[in-house]
Amino acid sequence: METTELRKLFYSRLSELYRLNCISALLGWDQQVYMPPKAAQGRAEQLESISIITHQKIVDPDFAKVVDELYEKRDSLSIEDQVNARETKRVLDKQRKLPDDFVSEMAQACALGYSEWVKARPANDFAAIKPSLERIVALVKRKADLLGYDENPYDALIDDFEPGAKASTVKPLLMNLAEKLAEIIPPITKRFKDLPRLQGHYDQKSQYELARRVVKDLGFDFETGRIDTTAHPFMTTLGRADIRITTRYDESDFLMSLYSTIHETGHALYEMGLDREWAGTPMGEPVSLGIHESQSRMWENLVGRSREYAKYLSGIIKEYIPQDSNLHDPDKLWQYVNRVEPSLVRTEADEVTYSQHIVIRMLLELAVVNNELSVTDLPDAWNELYEKYLGIKPTDYKNGVMQDVHWYSGSIGYFPTYALGNLYNAMMMEVAKRDIPDLSQQIERGEFSKLLAWLRENVHKHGMRYHGPELIRNITGKDLSAEPFVNYLKNKFLD
């Protein structure tokens, strides 16, 4: 077939798939934000129909032929077309290795696992969920075998979340991080564990107005985005100019809500910065979860928990929460958002201890996937690693091995991306600070547009053109390492 004809067929199918994905995302967004409870069954059926249509359009042999042929001709294509053909083929090759009955068995196991976890976690009942987790682990191992791998079955799994990542690169990287963190956590904890906790009452309306102002200043565009309320905050893209974030409110601690909103805003700014012309193609898509997380943590931690940002934010808080004069003092505000202390729950962890939670999960995933650890022994192994890396031990399952939904809903190999995000963003920030010499002063004044433009130029606009490690090498001239992140923590907390 002529290249022109191939391109036409290729892009028209990608665009169809994109529309279907957006429809599915809209149904999912509404499910979490507005849908009345009794609509759940009907909504699940609607989502299933869309996913069946989508799957058929992806595995359609005619489309596969188009993708393969276009990929064969890649040397004669533009860079953008090359990237789109390469990445589409990468995903398609994986899909082709998974038989239909396996895909549907996996989907059912994940859906069931999730709904059982929702019930079993509050009841602290690991026994109840064990069979379902065993089923998921068995399926995930089978998936790795079906997909194939060179060295470690884990490679086949992590690749879904961080393209190109392998156990042989990620494990040494994160173990090195863990070792360095183990040295600095005790002295930092000693100095920062007794910082004050927020106490007061903050009505939801002022919190909402404050959050809107803060994210608008960061660069969130309300012409192409919205903020709504859910139990678990998230970000989702519903179309080429439709990015949604959600938040939750705690009337006794508005900083918790505010910082989770800043985190989701970081995700949204990435999606808003993707090349809209290429929306729905790999050139207009985020490259990986690790890079995505680097963007959210960049704004939440590297910017949001800095001394400079506290100067800006304390002034804004004064306007929206005039009664709490403690929070109008930048030094006190900084203290409220920078307490450091090992804790049991990952999502409540500070930026210093957070990555240890991830290392623990990665080690357990590796052990389980490589048949070195059974699901039965998982809770004890979990507790031992918490003792080893954080010096504390869970006394129940719900704040231990059952705290995260990931494994129970089938996501094994996902966790490392959170820690990779920390490593990526510290490396990016070193270069951004060199390129924008007065960045600190800009942040103090509440000016974030130069940093955002820098991220757009160096990260966002490339879509999936470069995978994470290559992207970071292009930006920094160096390979991904733990050093810059650890140096950042040392400078911030031990200087």
Supply the residues annotated as catalytic: 264
H/E element holding 253? none
Q: Which is nearer to Co ion, 421 or 463 (CB)?
A: 421
Helix axes 79-97 and 3-33, enclosed angle (nearest 10): 70
What is the nearest approach in angstroms of Co ion to the Cβ of residue 355? Answer: 14
State both tokens at 255: 């900083």
Query: Would you tell me how many other CB atoms lie within 10 Å of the CB of residue 2?
Result: 7
- 43, 95, 351, 358, 399 from 386: Cα distances, Å: 39, 37, 17, 11, 11
With DSSP H G I counted as helix, E B as strand and the rest as coil, what are the percentages for the chain, rounded to 5? 70, 5, 30
- Both tokens of 383, joined, read 């507790």
Which of 383, 390, 313 has the alpha carbon at shortest distance from 352?
390
Residues in binding contact with Co ion, number by CB under 5 A: 1
Give the C-alpha distances (Å, rounded to integers) separating 267 from 215, 234, 246, 263. Answer: 12, 9, 11, 7
Report how far apart, in Å, the C-alpha atoms of 82 and of each of 18, 35, 248, 438 are.
Answer: 19, 41, 41, 38
- Complex with Co ion: residue 265 or 458, whichever CB lies closer: 265
Cβ(186)–Cβ(416) below 8 Å: no
Interface characters, 274-303, with Co ion (x: CB under 5 A):
----------------------x-------
The terminus-to-terminus CA distance of the chain in angstroms comes to 64
**Do residues 150 and 169 make contact, with C-beta atoms less than 8 angstroms apart?**
no
Cα–Cα distance, 169 to 177 (Å, whole number): 13
Shortest distance, position 418 Cβ to Co ion, whole Å: 8
Q: Cβ closer to Co ion: 296 or 403?
A: 296
For Co ion, the nearest residue by Cβ is 296
Question: Which residue type sits at 336?
Answer: Y
**How far is residue 139's CA from residue 157's CA, in Å, rounded to a whole number?**
11
67, with CB counted inside 10 A (0-12, 13-18, 19+), is: buried
CB closer to Co ion, 268 vs 381 = 268
Whole-number minimum distance, CB 301 to Co ion, in Å? 11
Among 449, 472, 471, which residue's Cα sits nearest to residue 462? 471
Distance in angstroms (rounded) separating the CA atoms of residues 175 and 171: 6
Task: Give the angle 175-176-180 at the CA atoms, nearest 5°.
Answer: 115
Q: How far is the CB of 296 from Co ion (least distance, A)?
A: 4
- Between 18 and 234, CB nearer to Co ion: 234
Tokens found for residue 448: 């974030």
β-pair type (235-239, 242-247): antiparallel
Binding string, residues 82-121; x marks residues near Co ion by CB under 5 A? ----------------------------------------
Q: Find, among 87, 80, 82, 56, the residue nearest to 70 by Cα.
A: 82
CB of 263 to Co ion, least distance (A): 6
Q: Are strands 242-247 and 225-229 parallel, antiparallel or unpaired?
A: parallel
Q: Which is nearer to Co ion, 311 or 361 (CB)?
A: 361
The residue among 88 and 265 lying less far from Co ion, judged by its C-beta, is 265
Nearest distance, CB of residue 90 and Co ion, angstroms: 24
Q: What contacts 479, CB < 8 A, 6 or more positions away?
A: 469, 472, 473
Whole-angstrom Cα distance, residue 110 to residue 166? 24
Identity of the residue, 63 or 270, whose beta carbon is nearer to Co ion in the bound complex: 270
Return the number of the residue (278 or 407) whose C-beta is nearest Co ion: 407
Per CB under 5 A, residues contacting Co ion are 296
